[in-house]
A and B are shown apart, each in its own frame.
Chain A
Amino acid sequence: MNTEKIITLENVVKRFKVGDGEFTALKDINLNFDKGEFAGLVGPSGSGKTTLLNIIGSLDSPTEGTATVMGKSISELSHKESALLRNHHIGFIFQVYNLLPVYTVYENVEFALLLQNHSAEERKKAVMDALDWVGIADMANKKPAKLSGGEGQRVAIARAMVKKPQILLADEPTANLDAENAHAILQTMKSLNKELDTTFLFSTHDEKVMKYMDRIIHLRDGSVEKDEIINSKSSSK
């Protein structure tokens, strides 16, 4: 069992300015995630799931407390350093896929590798491998507008996985998918988690998704309500 800590959250608080006042989105969050976990942040809308993912993904930083990702404190990272962290170690999957509309499937998946200055040959192999993982290699030349919801989300997974990140953050990845597609997507993610030992962290309020999780963290009003270990591979704080 791998127990290497990859994400550590200590007393994390996040407040947003709302008009003249403040809204506290996260209240004193303390969590650890090990390498290779397949965990879900569960809770109703406004419970702080996405905010927490954004902080772990270094897109945002905590107002108080410390968020350490791969040994780096998010608050202390410069804009360039956090971009580098995302580029090399963190993959994102969004609810609405956020595919680049003018690029083909191939180019969308290739994008992250372009930023890493891989050679054209390396990129091609990695992109085709990633498209193979998610079973859409035959759609490489299609534009996102021509894809179904399930196919679009597969492209998003391939794009997030192509650089073989340490952490993959998925914000409501199945919210726009029907049950069949959601199942297929989660199965794909699960097998990638096993194959590549990537840490998967989901946010969801879909009950059906939860049965795939090894660990479920229940959030309510910005606080951890419950941290459930379903499978022994995961560990709590």
Chain B
Amino acid sequence: MKQAFKLAYRNLMGAGLRTWLNVSVLSFSFVVIVFYNGLIDGWNKQARRDTIEWETGNGHLVHKDFDAFDPFTILDGHGNISQIEDKNLSPVLVRQASIYPDGRMMTVALKGINPLQNALKLPTSKLDTACSEVPILIGQNMARSSGLNKGDIVLLQWKDKNGTFDAANAVVADVFKTTVPTVDGGQIYISIKKLWDLTGLQNEASFLIANDQYVNTQTDQWIYKDQDELLITLDNIIATERISGSILYILLMLIALLAIFDTQVLSIFRRQKEIGTYMALGMTKLQVIKLFTVEGLMYSIFAMLVGCIWGIPVLNYFARNGIPYPVENMDDFGISISEIMYPIYGFKLIIGTVIAVVISATIVSYLPARKIARMDAVDAIKGKLQ
């Protein structure tokens, strides 16, 4: 095998430009595959981290009748939390409401939350303000769609526990910026105590957010959903992104491998005299096949080395500075997406890509090289097409 590597190295070095063209194409594919997967991994990590910090906390203790994905459960999906005295849980009561910015009606989810909670990154302390209007908190997307800004007053309408409509002026205490669209679009946050007073649903909550110290105390009424369960939607979306990304890198790999395959097929035809000479000099057909296969394998090894030379600085630059990802409307994505994405290149990703590229390059080199086994040495020496 050492001999095959030595001869293959000489052949590739001797082939000059042809070798370096193939190596360039393959190294480009290699770096792009690592970059794209790194980007998805970075996105995944950022999205998970931000979603935990802004939405899920350490998990949710959800009322048995409440389903965050079903608006029809908002009305009755709540229960009394007097029995649950755990300082590691922050109650959230969800009600349907309407606001009237500039006289037009917008339906919103009104979320009552403890201004002193520390499970989420939401700046709820801004709700702890004494004023004649109801202090509310909205996200940037909500502010954009409603046309509201910090300090604006808007009419808020809700239904109390008896189904009676009531209304009051609300003041935007703060507009927060988040990368998590599910805590922003169509949502208004107010102090839970205020919401209890407005709706008459004293000590009621739709779910409770757990902090890091929380220990599961699931009951018949309240079902504990841990981070993994709450992040399943995110995981599914990332998995879908990964599949669509894999199509991109399969295409890239195919282009690169096609270049090697094409070179190998051409080599078998163009280098027949050389193949015949190898046999005349005492190489077995198997040794010649091995030589051609190792040549293909070495393309991938060279591609790794060349890819490292130009790829490491480029990938490192993007890992440090991130890639600006201007998002017009975050709601379109459905999951957390940062304005700057930072790729993460894990060991598993790099080794996996290296192995995939090396194995694929070896296979596409071996396939045309098998033709050598059927070659007649005498005809090959003459360079006669077979």
Binding site for B on A (CB under 8 A): 54, 57, 59-60, 79-80, 83-84, 86-88, 92, 94, 98, 100-103, 107, 111-112, 114-117, 159
Q: A117's contact among B3, B11, B281, B381, by CB below 8 Å, is which?
A: B3
With known contacts A102-B11, A103-B10, A83–B282 Cβ distance under 8 A: yes
Report whether B15 and A111 are in contact in the complex, using a CB–CB cutoff of 8 Å.
no
- Bits for B277-300, please: 1 = Cβ < 8 Å to A, else 0: 101111111110000000000000
Report whether B282 and A112 are in contact in the complex, using a CB–CB cutoff of 8 Å.
yes
Work out how many contacts link A and B, with CB atoms closer than 8 A: 64
Report whether B284 and A80 are in contact in the complex, using a CB–CB cutoff of 8 Å.
yes
Q: List 12 A-B contacts (CB under 8 A).
A: A59-B377, A60-B378, A80-B284, A83-B283, A86-B280, A87-B283, A92-B281, A94-B277, A100-B277, A107-B10, A114-B6, A115-B282
Interface size class on chain B is 20 to 34
Q: Which residues of B contact A116 (CB under 8 A)?
A: 282
B276: interface (CB < 8 Å): yes
Report whether A98 and B282 are in contact in the complex, using a CB–CB cutoff of 8 Å.
no
**How far apart are A142's CB and chain B's nearest CB, in angstroms?**
13
**How far apart are B180's CB and chain A's nearest CB, in angstroms?**
59
11 further interface pairs, Cβ-Cβ under 8 Å (given A83-B279, A83-B284, A101-B274): A59-B381, A79-B284, A79-B285, A86-B282, A94-B381, A98-B276, A100-B274, A102-B13, A103-B10, A114-B6, A117-B3
**Distance of A103 Cα from B8 Cα, bound (Å):** 11
B103: interface (CB < 8 Å): no
**Distance of A94 Cα from B281 Cα, bound (Å):** 12
Q: Which residues of B contact A159 (CB under 8 A)?
A: 281
**How far apart are B269's CB and chain A's nearest CB, in angstroms?**
15
Report whether A87 and B381 are in contact in the complex, using a CB–CB cutoff of 8 Å.
no
Overall SS of chain B's interface: helix
Report whether A102 and B284 are in contact in the complex, using a CB–CB cutoff of 8 Å.
no
* Interface core residue of A54, A83, A103 (most chain B CB under 10 Å): A83
**Distance of A163 Cα from B47 Cα, bound (Å):** 67
Q: B378's contact among A54, A83, A98, by CB below 8 Å, is which?
A: A54
B163: interface (CB < 8 Å): no
**Which chain A residue lies CB-closest to B12?**
A102
Q: Which residues of B contact A101 (CB under 8 A)?
A: 14, 274
Report whether A86 and B285 are in contact in the complex, using a CB–CB cutoff of 8 Å.
no
- Bits for B8-30, please: 1 = Cβ < 8 Å to A, else 0: 00110111000000000000000
B273: interface (CB < 8 Å): yes
**Distance of A161 Cα from B287 Cα, bound (Å):** 22
With known contacts A54-B378, A103-B10, A117-B3, A98–B280 Cβ distance under 8 A: yes
Report whether B281 and A57 are in contact in the complex, using a CB–CB cutoff of 8 Å.
no
Report whether A84 and B282 are in contact in the complex, using a CB–CB cutoff of 8 Å.
yes
Q: For residues 239 through 294 of chain B, which have their beta carbon under 8 Å from a beta carbon of chain A?
A: 273-274, 276-277, 279-287
Q: Which residues of B contact A117 (CB under 8 A)?
A: 3
**Which chain B residue lies CB-closest to A51?**
B378
Q: Which residues of A contact B284 (CB under 8 A)?
A: 79-80, 83
Q: Which residues of B contact A102 (CB under 8 A)?
A: 10-11, 13-15
**Distance of A116 Cα from B279 Cα, bound (Å):** 14
* Interface core residue of A80, A100, A159 (most chain B CB under 10 Å): A100
